Amino acid sequence: MDLSMAAYERCELCPRRCGAQRASGKAGICGATSTLRVARSALHFWEEPPISGERGSGTIFFTGCPLRCVFCQNHEISQEGFGLEVTTERLSQMMLELEGQGALNINLVTPLHYAPHIVEAVKMARADGLAIPIVCNTSGYELPEVVAALDGVVDVWLTDFKYASSELAARLSAAPDYPQRAEESLLEMLRLLRKAGGRAADADGEDGLPGRMTRGIIVRHLVLPGEVADSCAVLDKVWEMCGNEVDLSVMNQYTPNETCKRRGGNLSRPLSEEEYEAVLDHADELGFERMWWQQGGTVSESFVPAFDATGVLAPSAS
């Protein structure tokens, strides 16, 4: 797929293929035109251990998202449009600034509706000396041809696999094709990983922390209250496709937002310990060897950073 700026003329960068004339200022279903918008650029310490380590992941949050998840914790940027306009050159500078702050990697959060900008910014940053891995932190709702076109740009895929059920995906994210698209994109990520030589990581660090992942795939799954059966079906799919070629991250940090509280039902309550343990037990039974999980008490908005444009503007000259 062509990931030049011409891709914005009639956008088909995600499975929506909405055809929006983003280059002419028309927003796609993702909410974005061809103007790059960023909500935050800062060190982030709450990712999986091979991503954050002790020094933090250099995380850049982008405005907009092709999905419409009713439970989204980042709704200010994913659906409400918060973010500042930046140039490709400024995005490249942010990457270098994060590296200078000691970041283990550059972690691009929901970036692929801006894929042409991402490709150019990474090339610029690499030319200017960027030497840390690029992490693509994504919803899993991708086109495999876009994933393929990022060969040599992305080092680590930090991808969601949200649902096995099309009905659930339609009801909660307005995307009945999500399971199919997540499977197709994950298979393409796996193909690229095998081509590159498989998972790679630095030596383990102090205090028993795993070494920084420099190449690989982490598949994330957020367990939703009342949906243990679908969570187990997701793990079945991931195991069947990938086995232990990927890391698995099973998350219990679901926090009901105001929309979910108003809707009532299971999504208006936190996940129970019993539900989470049932999914972890299933992952163990399947045989996942590199699995990340969260301790109790993670139901909190503390996992959501302040979207206040930290690090987006260029530092003032002293």
Within its chain, how far is the Cα of 31 from the centroid?
A: 17
**Rounded Cα–Cα distance for residues 128 and 89 (Å):** 11
Does 96 fall in a domain?
A: yes
Does 101 fall in a domain?
A: yes
Please tell me the predicted confidence (pLDDT) of residue 303.
60
With cut-offs at 50, 70 and 90, classify the pLDDT of residue 305.
confident
**Rounded Cα–Cα distance for residues 198 and 163 (Å):** 26
Does 314 fall in a domain?
A: no
Please tell me the predicted confidence (pLDDT) of residue 306.
83
What is the sign of the dihedral through the CA atoms of 107, 112, 113 and 116?
Answer: positive
Look up tokens 């393929």; give the residue: 148
Does 79 fall in a domain?
A: yes
With cut-offs at 50, 70 and 90, classify the pLDDT of residue 301.
very low
Please tell me the predicted confidence (pLDDT) of residue 206.
65
Please tell me the predicted confidence (pLDDT) of residue 208.
73
Q: List Cβ neighbours of 179 (8 Å cut-off, separation of 6 or more).
A: 163, 164, 165, 166, 169, 237
**Rounded Cα–Cα distance for residues 267 and 256 (Å):** 6
Does 3 fall in a domain?
A: no
- How many structural domains compose the chain? 1
Please tell me the predicted confidence (pLDDT) of residue 316.
65
With cut-offs at 50, 70 and 90, classify the pLDDT of residue 298.
low
Q: Convert the pLDDT of each residue in 31-48 to its tens digit.
A: 999 999 999 999 999 999
**Rounded Cα–Cα distance for residues 48 and 158 (Å):** 10
> Which helix (H) or strand (E) is 159 found in, with range?
strand 156-160
Q: Coil, helix or strand for 172?
A: helix
Q: Convert the pLDDT of each residue in 182-234 to its tens digit.
A: 999 999 999 999 999 999 999 987 677 789 999 999 999 999 999 999 999 99
Query: Does the structure show a pLDDT above 80 at 58?
Result: yes
Please tell me the predicted confidence (pLDDT) of residue 318.
45
95-109, 238-252, 286-300: which has the minimum mean pLDDT?
A: 286-300
Q: Convert the pLDDT of each residue in 278-293 to its tens digit.
A: 999 999 999 999 999 9
Does 22 fall in a domain?
A: no
CA angle 224, 227, 228 (to 5 degrees): 100
Q: What is the mean pLDDT of residues 116-137?
A: 98
Does 54 fall in a domain?
A: yes
Q: Which domain holds residue 74?
A: 38-303
**CATH number, domain with residue 286:** 3.20.20.70
Higher pLDDT among residues 121 and 302, named by residue: 121
Q: Are 28 and 3 in contact (CB under 8 A)?
A: no
Q: Convert the pLDDT of each residue in 208-221 to its tens digit.
A: 778 999 999 999 99
Does 227 fall in a domain?
A: yes
- Using a pLDDT cut of 90, give the percent of the chain over it: 90
Average pLDDT, the chain: 95
**Rounded Cα–Cα distance for residues 58 and 214 (Å):** 14
